[in-house]
């Protein structure tokens, strides 16, 4: 598969095979598989073990699915509207004692990574999105002020790239690129 990270990277096969798909088959994800990926998210580490991640998941055909889809920018909604599951991802802003949790978004991102890796292990592809209208999401979801909305994730089994129109089709077929370790890891702060 063109999108799988090269073997020469030397990274774990599970890391290699996670990538952000845009073409999804119509197959629905079973409840056991969904709970399995949330289980993986729940095993992420977090500041003070607060576990600030929260997910609202919606199956295609439900009202909540349409609500989540309606908040996406058009360039995301075009392909994400084929995914069988959409997740809205939230961060609880405070610790149990009421003080601000400055690490909440960090920890939610870490949990999403675990969720997507577990998904990859069972053949489910995920695509995280920051491209949505936050005000629309606040109005549509009526979520509590104690939460921040962080991202939306499309989840599903892989579909054919041919099912997409350009530019999405060509993006689906373009190999992924990365900065090298030398470009991101330094021994001196002045190299940052
Ligand atoms: C927080 C976040 C927001 C993102 N927002 C979008 C988005 O709005 N639309 C989109 O097509 N991809 C989005 N992506 C996916 C990235 O473009 C993708 O992860 C990146 O290009 C690397 O590709 P890979 O995940 O296949 O390795 C987002 C990813 C993250 C982590």
Pair type for strands 125-129 and 53-59:
unpaired
First-last CA distance in the chain: 34
In percent, how much of the chain has pLDDT > 90?
99
Q: Which domains, ranges and CATH numbers included, belong to the chain?
A: 34-159 (3.40.109.10)
List pocket residues of ligand 1, CB cut-off 6 Å. 19-20, 76, 128-131, 151, 176
The arrangement of strands across the sheet holding 125-129 comes to: 53-59, 85-92, 147-156, 125-129
Which tokens is 5 given?
């990270």
pLDDT at 2: 82
pLDDT at 111: 98
Question: Are 118 and 39 within 8 A, CB to CB?
Answer: yes
Nearest residue CA, atom 19 of ligand 1? 20
pLDDT in tens, 15-58: 999 999 999 999 999 999 999 999 999 999 999 999 999 999 99
CA-132 nearest atom, ligand 1:
8
pLDDT in tens, 114-147: 999 999 999 999 999 999 999 999 999 999 999 9
Q: Indicate whether 182 pLDDT > 80.
A: yes
Compute, in angstroms, the gap from residue 21 CA to the centroid of ligand 1: 10
Report pTM.
0.97
């Amino acid at each position: 598969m063109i999108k799988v990270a090269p073997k020469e990277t030397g990274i774990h096969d599970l890391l290699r095979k996670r990538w952000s798909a845009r073409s999804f088959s119509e197959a629905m994800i079973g409840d056991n598989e969904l709970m399995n990926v949330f289980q993986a998210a729940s095993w992420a580490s977090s500041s003070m073990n607060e576990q600030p991640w929260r997910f609202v998941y919606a199956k295609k055909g439900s009202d909540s699915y349409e609500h989540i889809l309606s908040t996406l920018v058009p360039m995301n909604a075009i392909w994400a509207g084929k995914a069988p599951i959409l997740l809205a991802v939230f961060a609880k802003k405070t610790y149990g004692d009421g003080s601000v949790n400055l690490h909440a978004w960090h920890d939610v991102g870490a949990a999403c990574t675990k969720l997507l890796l577990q998904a990859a292990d069972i053949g489910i592809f995920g695509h995280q999105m920051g491209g949505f209208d936050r005000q629309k999401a606040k109005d549509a979801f009526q979520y509590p002020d104690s939460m921040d909305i962080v991202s939306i994730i499309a989840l599903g089994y892989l579909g054919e790239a041919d099912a997409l129109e350009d530019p999405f089709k060509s993006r689906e077929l373009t190999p992924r690129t990365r900065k090298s370790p030398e470009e991101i890891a330094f021994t001196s702060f002045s190299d940052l």
